[in-house]
Amino acid sequence: MLRPSIPLGRFAGVRVGLNPTVLVIAVLLVTGLAFGRLPAAFPGYGVAGYLAAAVAGTLAFLASLLAHELAHAVVARREGVEVAGVTLWLLGGVAHLRGEPRTPGADLRIAAAGPLVSLALGVCFGLLALAGQGLVRGTLTYLAGANLVLAVFNLVPGAPLDGGRILRALLWAWRGDRVFAAVVAAKAGKAVGWTLLALGGIMLLTGAGLQGVWFGVVGLFVAGAAAAEERHARAIAPQKSPTVT
């Protein structure tokens, strides 16, 4: 389990903390907004204005990540799954669940909660952006886009992404075999991870630089986490299950 070392307290009854690696993404976001995206779109505001907007946008995005993970945690608790806490880190957030959902429906509801919250936040920020001007509008537009991208990316059907959990729930409901469903979702996750890694390599070769590195890091994490989930699923597979191949 990814350990938080900076406790933030409890939100909705769930313990929340930060892993120090979240500072890396915070610095990257502030830098990219203050010295790249915002000055290019809205010139003439001065360094202080861009930095203030970038810091506000970064904090709001981290809060959006927290809302995404808290949605998973709150629904999990309602479904009878114990929640150890939520951690924000370099690649986003993690809701630490102790135990597994008892039914495919519970699995589906827990998995879908996060993307639904991100989608709702994206729409809300987008509507607010329509009423804003200048840097305020630019920051809100960024937050709308970031939340929509977060929702869509997490719906990619491969574990450990939320889309992989949804795929697992649907396969579990169809076949009645949770182990089979978990292995298929994990294999899909490995394919997603290696695809992201390959895209990152192509982007590096074509001059995308930091974006290529980021795709590669995310791809390695997804592939590694998916492989771990597949090993776990096979380890707990009952001997009578011939469907796991």
Respond yes or no: is residue 82 known to be catalytic: no
CA of 13: how far to CAs of 6, 10, 69, 171, in Å? Answer: 17, 5, 13, 31
CA nearest neighbour of 89 among 5, 13, 32, 33: 5
Which residues are CB-contacts of 51 (< 8 A; sequence separation ≥ 6)? Answer: 30, 34
DSSP 144-155: HHHHHHHHHHHT
3-state secondary structure 165-194: HHHHHHHHHHHCCHHHHHHHHHHHHHHHHH
> What single letter denotes the amino acid at residue 143?
L
Give the C-alpha separation, 86 to 92, whole Å: 11
Strand ranges (E), the chain: 6-11, 14-18, 82-89, 92-98
Give CA–CA dist 154/115, Å, rounded.
7
Number of H helices, E strands in the chain: 8, 4
| CB 157, CB 167: distance < 8 Å | yes
Q: Which of 69, 82, 100, 230 is catalytic?
A: 69
Catalytic residue positions?
Answer: 69
